[in-house]
């Protein structure tokens, strides 16, 4: 059952590549579908699937699991945590920068995948009934609109049919392929790798840039790694080797056999491979499969967003948990509708899947290059591989990834700039938020004081105490939050019990209940509480108070006041301290806007709003 679920969620993207991949290898570059070219390209496709998915991801990259979780941000956290070298600061910065940029590029992939998948599926209608051609764009928009409207119900509900539908899809791919291969078994010559080298030799540079379209057959590789935490390695490997890989190879070879018999079928070998009577049912099945393929990327972007929030690279935004059993099933409304707008814009702008294919691949290839670099670091630092072993294995993958990336570079002027621009924008926002929070933390720390000094001051000059409990939230685990100092300075009173709460995110996906809470009673009735969470978890105040009760510190929620600081950011030119690296004025203003629009802690941490006091603080950065 896990393998069936993995089939539905993990392999949707890579499973819909036969809709357009082989067609683009000929259509975009003007290559004639001669027998030598057909067999050469099929050989490239087959060995690309073997080298990239079977060897790189299934054997090596999936070993780099962060307590079972995969994905580029998880890999980044693992690589950063594994650093033990003397130049640790510089290497951590490099690993973090690479990981952030790779994650940002996946947002661009998350916009373009639904557009090209659904559009390429709907284009099959023209082969069933040519009169449908004017309705392709409206129908595509309708399907995409329905897909994004359904997101609020969660993948648990709408994903019940994912596995069976994708299984039916892969069976259809295999049957179509077998039918095509039966007309020309000579196509199996493409299994011999020398045909790929001969293709390069015959076509030179022109043959090399075809790699830009050959890469379309493995664009789901990163999604495969990112979804590892949902199903585990074994079910994903079983689904790939026993279902997805054989079906894909058979279908690509069936399309190739069709081109050997009828070179004119190059306009759309996938749909022309099917009998006329089967075209319409195939369009329906392809549309469902394309929606599922899109779902994998959309869910992946939701997951990346939550990880970015927890790791401090994104402002707090509303996250809706759509399942009480599965922590990974979430819905992020703001991201959902931003993706929707981007996908609709791409469909209306590019109009055809061929135009979108010209823009597709550049972001994914760049992400794969980054994954190889981060995995190399993990192999060296965490797995304790020798330099020779790590460099020889991941060096081969790096050369392979760079070949695909170089072949895709020419796509930038043909629309490839779109996912790159989206990735650059997301990277700018992430780094601006991270840097801004660091500067803000330093400014607030300058106004604060160590908790030990504060408590000694309370013992020397005891203030008036009032009944009840106050929980002050603080980003500094060892300092006193500014709202507490303001309260004592201006109101001259303190609650009977005071807890200073810091929520820290560890570079692991999940934290055990035993490690969740650390409580220190500094002096009687003054507590320092540190709550630890993984980057796949969303903190909730109710859970934190329950964890405190398990350590015999009982806070009565009805008698507890939560005091939060509400910072108003003032951007000032030249405000950086001596020896401190600040931000340019326009980035400071951008950070101020992001901070102003971030979700309030009351809603994010599920704090009862009628028990919250917010203390306004103006901070110049």
Q: Edge-to-edge, what's the strand order for the sheet holding 493-505?
A: 517-523, 526-533, 493-505, 464-473, 560-570, 612-620
Is the separation of the CB atoms in 111 and 419 below 8 Å?
A: yes
Is the separation of the CB atoms in 218 and 141 below 8 Å?
A: no
Residue 425's pLDDT band, with cuts at 50, 70 and 90, is: very high
What gap in Å lies between CA 22 and CA 233, rounded to an integer? 29
Q: Give the 3-state secondary structure of residue 570.
A: strand
pLDDT of residue 308: 85
With CA atoms as reference, report the closest residue to 170 among 258, 241, 260, 268. 241
pLDDT of residue 574: 57
Is the separation of the CB atoms in 229 and 68 below 8 Å?
A: yes
pLDDT surpassing 60 at residue 325: no
pLDDT of residue 326: 56
pLDDT of residue 341: 93
Higher pLDDT, 296 or 429: 429
Higher pLDDT, 621 or 246: 246
Each residue's pLDDT tens digit, 377-404: 889 888 889 999 999 999 999 999 999 9
pLDDT of residue 301: 85
Is the separation of the CB atoms in 367 and 419 below 8 Å?
A: no
**How high does pLDDT run on average in the chain?**
85
Of the ranges 55-69, 153-167, 184-198, 304-318, which one carries the lowest mean pLDDT score? 153-167
pLDDT surpassing 80 at residue 18: yes
pLDDT of residue 157: 63
pLDDT of residue 598: 87
pLDDT of residue 55: 94
With CA atoms as reference, report the closest residue to 407 among 48, 129, 164. 48
Q: Give the 3-state secondary structure of residue 572.
A: coil
CATH of domain 2-415: 1.20.1740.10
What lies within 8 Å, CB to CB, of 614 at 6+ separation is 563, 564, 565, 566, 600, 602
pLDDT of residue 159: 60
pLDDT of residue 573: 67
Each residue's pLDDT tens digit, 584-621: 888 888 998 998 888 888 888 888 888 898 888 888 77
pLDDT surpassing 90 at residue 62: no
pLDDT of residue 402: 93
- How large is the average pLDDT for residues 202-227? 84
pLDDT surpassing 70 at residue 129: yes
- How large is the average pLDDT for residues 195-215? 87
Cite the DSSP H helix spans in 187-261: 194-209, 211-214, 221-226, 228-231, 233-239, 245-261
Residue 127's pLDDT band, with cuts at 50, 70 and 90, is: confident
Chain centroid, CA 501 distance in Å: 30
Higher pLDDT, 574 or 373: 373
pLDDT of residue 396: 94
Backbone angles phi, psi at 329, to 5 degrees: -90, 105
- How large is the average pLDDT for residues 14-24? 88
Q: Give the 3-state secondary structure of residue 404.
A: helix
Which helix (H) or strand (E) element contains residue 471? strand 464-473
pLDDT of residue 577: 60
pLDDT of residue 554: 85
pLDDT of residue 97: 87
**Domain spans in the chain, listed from the N-terminal domain onward:** 2-415, 439-620
Each residue's pLDDT tens digit, 534-589: 877 878 888 888 888 888 888 877 788 999 888 888 877 655 565 566 788 888 88
Sign of CA dihedral 513, 514, 518, 519: positive
pLDDT of residue 181: 94
CA angle 428, 429, 430 (to 5 degrees): 95
Residue 206's pLDDT band, with cuts at 50, 70 and 90, is: confident
Q: Give the 3-state secondary structure of residue 479.
A: strand
Residue 105's pLDDT band, with cuts at 50, 70 and 90, is: confident
- How large is the average pLDDT for residues 31-50? 92
Residue 259's pLDDT band, with cuts at 50, 70 and 90, is: very high
pLDDT surpassing 90 at residue 172: yes
Each residue's pLDDT tens digit, 439-470: 888 888 888 888 888 898 888 888 888 888 99
Above pLDDT 90, what percent of the chain? 25
DSSP states of 255-295 as a string? HHHHHHH-GGGGG-HHHHTS-GGGHHHHHHHHHHHHHHHHH
What gap in Å lies between CA 314 and CA 520, rounded to an integer? 30
pLDDT of residue 327: 56
């Amino acid at each position: 059952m896990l393998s069936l679920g993995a089939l539905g969620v993990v392999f949707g993207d890579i499973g819909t590549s036969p809709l357009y991949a082989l067609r683009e290898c000929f259509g975009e570059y003007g290559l004639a579908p001669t027998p030598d070219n057909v067999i050469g390209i099929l050989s490239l496709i087959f060995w690309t699937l073997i080298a990239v998915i079977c060897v790189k991801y299934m054997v090596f990259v999936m070993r780099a699991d962060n307590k079972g979780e995969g994905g580029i941000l998880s890999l980044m956290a693992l690589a950063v945590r594994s650093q033990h070298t003397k130049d640790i600061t510089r290497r951590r910065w490099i690993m973090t920068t690479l990981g952030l940029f790779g994650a940002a590029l996946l947002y661009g992939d998350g916009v373009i995948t639904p557009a090209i998948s659904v559009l390429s599926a709907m284009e099959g209608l023209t082969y069933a009934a040519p009169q449908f051609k004017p309705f392709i764009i409206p129908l595509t928009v309708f399907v995409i609109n329905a897909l994004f409207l359904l997101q609020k119900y969660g993948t648990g509900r709408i994903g019940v049919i994912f596995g069976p539908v994708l299984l039916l899809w892969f069976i259809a791919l295999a049957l179509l392929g077998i039918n095509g291969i039966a007309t020309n078994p000579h196509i199996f010559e493409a299994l011999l790798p020398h045909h790929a080298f001969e293709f390069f030799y015959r076509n030179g540079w022109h043959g090399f840039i075809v790699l830009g379209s050959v890469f379309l057959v493995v664009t789901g590789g990163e999604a495969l790694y990112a979804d590892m935490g949902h199903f585990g390695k074994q079910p994903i490997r079983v689904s790939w080797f026993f279902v997805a890989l054989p079906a894909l190879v058979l279908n690509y070879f069936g399309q190739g056999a069709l081109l050997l018999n009828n070179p004119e079928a190059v306009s759309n070998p996938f749909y022309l491979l099917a009998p006329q009577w089967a075209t319409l049912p195939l369009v329906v099945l392809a549309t469902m499969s394309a929606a599922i393929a899109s779902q994998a990327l959309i869910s992946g972007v939701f997951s990346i967003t939550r990880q970015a929030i927890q790791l401090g690279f994104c402002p707090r935004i509303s996250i809706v948990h759509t399942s009480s059993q599965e922590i990974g099933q979430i819905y992020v409304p703001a991201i959902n509708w931003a993706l929707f707008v981007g996908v609709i814009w791409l469909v209306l702008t590019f109009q055809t899947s061929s135009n979108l294919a010209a823009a597709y691949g550049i972001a994914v290839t760049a992400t794969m290059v980054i994954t190889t670099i981060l995995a190399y670091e993990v192999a060296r630092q965490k797995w304790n591989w020798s330099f020779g072993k790590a460099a020889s294995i991941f060096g081969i993958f790096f050369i392979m990834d760079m070949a695909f990336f170089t072949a895709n570079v020419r796509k930038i002027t043909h629309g490839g700039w779109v996912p790159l621009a989206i990735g650059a924008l997301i990277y700018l926002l992430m780094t601006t938020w991270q840097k801004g929070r660091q500067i803000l933390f330093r400014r607030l720390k300058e106004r604060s004081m160590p908790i030990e000094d504060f408590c000694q001051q309370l013992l020397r000059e005891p203030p008036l105490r009032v009944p009840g409990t106050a929980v002050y939230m603080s980003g500094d685990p060892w300092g006193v939050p500014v709202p507490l100092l303001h309260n004592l300075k201006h109101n001259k009173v303190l609650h009977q019990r005071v807890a200073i709460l810091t929520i820290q995110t560890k570079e692991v996906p999940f934290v055990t209940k035993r490690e969740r809470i650390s409580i220190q009673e500094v002096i009687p009735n003054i507590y320092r509480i540190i709550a630890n969470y993984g980057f796949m978890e969303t903190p909730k105040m109710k859970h934190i108070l329950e964890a405190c009760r398990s350590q015999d510190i009982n806070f009565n929620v009805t008698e507890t006041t939560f005091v939060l600081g509400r910072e108003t950011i003032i951007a000032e030119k030249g405000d950086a301290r001596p020896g401190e690296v600040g931000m340019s004025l326009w980035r400071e203003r951008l950070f101020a806007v992001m901070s102003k629009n971030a979700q309030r802690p009351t809603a994010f941490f599920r704090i009862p709003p009628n028990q919250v006091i917010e203390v306004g603080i103006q901070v110049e950065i």
